[in-house]
């Protein structure tokens, strides 16, 4: 007899694969959620997985106070059972305590091993007797360790944020990281207009709300992927910050255009819309399988003639021919600007990773810049909020390449986006203003 699909049991499995297998929760959820017919089960699974990842320190804090074993001695999958159970008890008041205990003890029993069900029953039952006693207190102002525990971020990273922006802004950012990221789409202007897209989606019971900064970007209420309008390529799912980055190059692009780290192709599609008739767009990525997604997206959206090249821009001589008038470098990074969508990054990233990532980012920037024609424009960007990966990489590059200067992207941007340009001429976005966190810089090469 086939095992009955249960969102709590599936949440444990996903969390275990995320922690021990290095998988991304969003990808696993995308594969598993369609197997649940009831949308309430899909919603519960989604809430449990992302909720536990966002609130893991608070769950571990409660479990460690009640467990007879140290956390590091608990079987990893059994620990996920406890975390899911603790999250439901502490964060989901609408689920009756008896239901939480019953199902999580059943999940534990299914893992096998002597005493697993009894161990889980004991910890969760003890927690349920006095939930308030095991909730994390609000942090005292200035106490980084308490802030990290209360808002579910690593202490080392929380300390960096407080040092960079101050206590109050750090609290705002960490709270924003814990809010669900909205689904955002971009109108495909080669096939539709913002007004027409709103009308089409409304007819299919999907509500669109215009985003604050990028024209043609909309927040979505409803399942946009199930609409005929989406299937016809009238829109593409893409965060507003991601849509913004290519716009730093200007509204209309002629000549040769290079997307140096293209996969899976969201920004390539924006560049395709910006490209003038007769221009040439080349999408490059070192991952051949991910580069195929660029071709798939282009086909669905009706963008023809995008050339794809498998190459690593960090190598001294990337296998890309000729010079380009416009180059976009969206470099692989820590992803700290995407913690709303990928909360597992919090628990994988280490402080030493930043220097390693920045070194590779500068190599990629250097490789891409070598392909820029004199007088050309290059945008360097990362979905990171770390100085080392943003302004630090640009500063290091400029020291070695005096023929490049930082340009003001303001005149290139829609008026609604210009407030995002700082005094240093860099663009920075943040979850606090409803976008993923991006850094962007416009560089120009001397004639």
Residue numbers annotated as active site:
383
**293 known ligand binder:** no
Contacts of 368 (CB under 8 A, 6+ apart): 258, 260, 313, 318, 327, 329, 378
Look at residues 137, 19, 29, 131 and name the one whose alpha carbon lies nearest to residue 79: 19
Contacts of 195 (CB under 8 A, 6+ apart): none
**423 known ligand binder:** no
Contacts of 428 (CB under 8 A, 6+ apart): 385, 390, 420, 422, 437, 438, 439, 440
Look at residues 87, 89, 105 and name the one whose alpha carbon lies nearest to residue 9: 105
Tokens of 62: 């409660």
Torsion sign (Cα): 412, 415, 419, 420 = negative
Sheet holding 217-221, edge to edge: 207-210, 217-221, 184-187, 235-237
Give the DSSP per-residue string, 270-333: HHHHHBPTT-EEEEEES-HHHHHHHHHHHHHHT----EEEE--TTSSS-S--S-EEEEEEE---
Q: How many residues does the chain have?
A: 447
**264 known ligand binder:** yes
Tokens of 124: 């969760």
**298 known ligand binder:** no
Give the DSSP per-residue string, 423-437: TTS-EE--GGGTS--
**267 known ligand binder:** yes
Phi, psi angle pair for 380, to nearest 5°: -105, 130
**417 known ligand binder:** no
**312 known ligand binder:** yes
Between CA 194 and CA 215 the distance in angstroms is: 8
Annotated binding site for S-adenosyl-L-methionine: 261-267, 285, 312, 330
Annotated binding site: 261-267, 285, 312, 330
């Amino acid at each position: 007899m086939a095992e009955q699909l249960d969102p709590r049991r599936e949440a444990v499995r996903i969390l275990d694969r995320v922690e021990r297998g290095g998988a991304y929760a969003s990808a696993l959820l995308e594969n598993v959620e369609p197997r649940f017919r009831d949308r309430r089960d899909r919603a519960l699974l989604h809430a449990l997985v992302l909720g536990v990842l966002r609130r893991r320190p608070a769950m571990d804090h409660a479990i460690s106070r009640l467990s007879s074993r140290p956390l590091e001695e608990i079987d990893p999958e059994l620990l996920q059972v406890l975390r899911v159970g603790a999250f439901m008890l502490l964060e989901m008041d609408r689920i009756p305590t008896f239901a939480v205990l019953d199902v999580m003890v059943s999940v534990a029993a299914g893992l096998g091993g002597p005493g697993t069900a009894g161990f889980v029953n004991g910890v969760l039952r003890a927690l349920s007797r006095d939930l308030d006693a095991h909730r994390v207190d609000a942090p005292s102002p200035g106490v980084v360790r308490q802030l990290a525990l209360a808002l579910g971020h690593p202490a080392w990273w929380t300390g960096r944020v407080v040092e960079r922006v101050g206590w109050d802004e750090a609290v705002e950012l960490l709270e924003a990281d814990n809010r669900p990221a909205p689904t955002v789409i971009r109108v495909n202007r080669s096939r539709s207009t913002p007004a027409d897209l709103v009308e089409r989606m409304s007819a299919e019971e999907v509500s669109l709300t215009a985003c604050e900064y990028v024209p043609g970007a909309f927040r979505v209420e409803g399942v946009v992927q199930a609409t005929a309008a989406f299937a016809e390529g009238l829109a593409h799912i893409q965060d507003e910050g991601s849509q913004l980055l290519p716009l730093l190059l200007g509204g209309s692009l002629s000549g040769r255009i290079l997307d140096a780290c293209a996969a899976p192709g969201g920004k390539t599609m924006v560049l395709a819309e910006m490209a003038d008739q007769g221009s040439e767009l080349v999408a490059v990525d070192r991952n051949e399988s991910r580069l195929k997604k660029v071709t798939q997206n282009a086909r669905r959206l009706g963008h023809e003639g995008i050339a794809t090249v498998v190459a690593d821009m960090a190598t001294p001589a990337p296998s890309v021919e000729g010079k380009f008038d416009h180059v976009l470098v969206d470099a692989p990074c820590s992803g700290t600007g995407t913690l709303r969508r990928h909360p597992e990054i919090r628990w994988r990233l280490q402080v030493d990773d930043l220097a390693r990532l920045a070194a590779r980012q500068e190599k990629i920037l250097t490789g891409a810049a070598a392909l820029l024609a004199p007088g050309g424009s290059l945008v360097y960007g990362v979905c990171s909020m770390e100085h080392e990966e943003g302004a630090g990489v640009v500063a290091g590059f400029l020291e070695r390449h005096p023929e490049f200067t930082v340009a003001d992207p303001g005149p290139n941007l829609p008026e609604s986006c210009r407030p995002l340009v700082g005094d240093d001429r860099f663009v920075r976005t943040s979850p606090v203003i409803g976008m993923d966190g991006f850094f962007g810089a416009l560089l120009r090469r001397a004639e």
